[in-house]
Amino acid sequence: MSDLFWPGADRAGDLLSGSALLTAMVAVEQAWLDVLGEAPGVDLTSLVGPDDLSHLAVGAEAGGNPVIELVAMLRARCGSQWVHRGLTSQDVLDTALMLCMRDVVTRLSGELKAQVDVLVEHAAAHRKTVMAGRTLTQHAVPITFGLKAAGWLNGVLDARDAVDALRLPVQIGGAAGTLSAVTELAGGPEAAVALAHDAADRLGLKWAPPWHTNRRPVTAIGDALVTCTDTWGRVATDVATLSRPEIGELAEGTGGASSTMPHKHNPVLSVLVRRAALTTPPLTATLHIAAALAADERPDGAWHTEWAPLRDLGRRAVVAGAQTTALLAGLRVDTERMAATARGAWAQLTAEHEAIHQFVPESAHGHPLGAADLIVDEVLGRARQEQP
């Protein structure tokens, strides 16, 4: 899906597009129709498609969501009034969004695994590559590039854990979360709950009690995606900083050009990843604000607020994830420049070490890198233990 406002958007493909949401909504209606068992052989998936998007989008305004118009369309085209019977619009749209987010999670899991693999290599290969450590933009103490890569790696592992911990639930509650209509259709409360469980299984989602106004499933997604973009933003910021000509210790494999300056080798991937890191936290904040204002048994406006931020979060996270993977895979490490900078600033970099030695003369005087190597081992051990 192209987007001139968001360079690189095509990396997310059709994820969370209008077509993807439509497909997911129809999948929910199909699963529920099959569970009810009152319209055997009816295939809803072939009845609507991309050509219907414009009509559904325009019609969504009248009811406040696209499900109402979709249900009318499906019933008219298949000839069965059992479509959607017992559900409410929020059931269908919430569940469809969980299906869409499952595809996002699958993509992110792949990107995070690829990033772990590359960073394990960098951390291991450069555990002895000395460079200047910097704090508050100034030289601090000596570190190794392996330690910096291990720090990136630890963040990526945290992000992967956050994504892996997501539990995407089905939403089936009926008008006010009681399954009242389904109870009548199924012949009793136990049968109604069993139907909802069956629908969850058919869709490959987790079962959960109705969460119409308990929006933790949505905010959890936002939190996990921002954990990812925070992590990638840190990597991108380091690369952008260390690729400045006056530092020159890192460089992107294929930097971007300038429209007017032929000498430029812009860290474009880093710039675009930082863009995502800067814009996704407010989107997640919107999800939390909406969750806090989800009133009564079904929200009035707060629910509607979630859809666009979820779309943008999912797509931007996937784009940033793919860009970070490409950034790390092509990263150029100038070990000679790192060594030269460290040598030139060695007196400054070891000032703390010398001060400690004077204060405690019997201290280990030969370890200006401290426990950097052991820290790298710890992170590498975590990565290797947790790799699937």
Q: Which residues are catalytic?
A: 258, 298
User: Do 44 and 29 touch, CB atoms closer than 8 A?
Assistant: yes
d(CA 210, CA 255): 49
Name beta bridge partners: 144: 130
Q: Which residues contact 369 (CB under 8 A, 6 or more apart)?
A: 130, 142, 143, 144
Site of tokens 């319209």 = 39
Say whether 138 sits in a helix, a strand or coil.
Answer: strand
Say whether 285 sits in a helix, a strand or coil.
Answer: helix
CB-neighbour burial class of residue 98 (10 A; exposed 0-12, middle 13-18, buried 19+) = buried
d(CA 187, CA 191): 7
Handedness of CA 156, 158, 161, 165 (dihedral sign): negative
Angle between helices 67-78 and 53-63 (to 10 degrees): 120
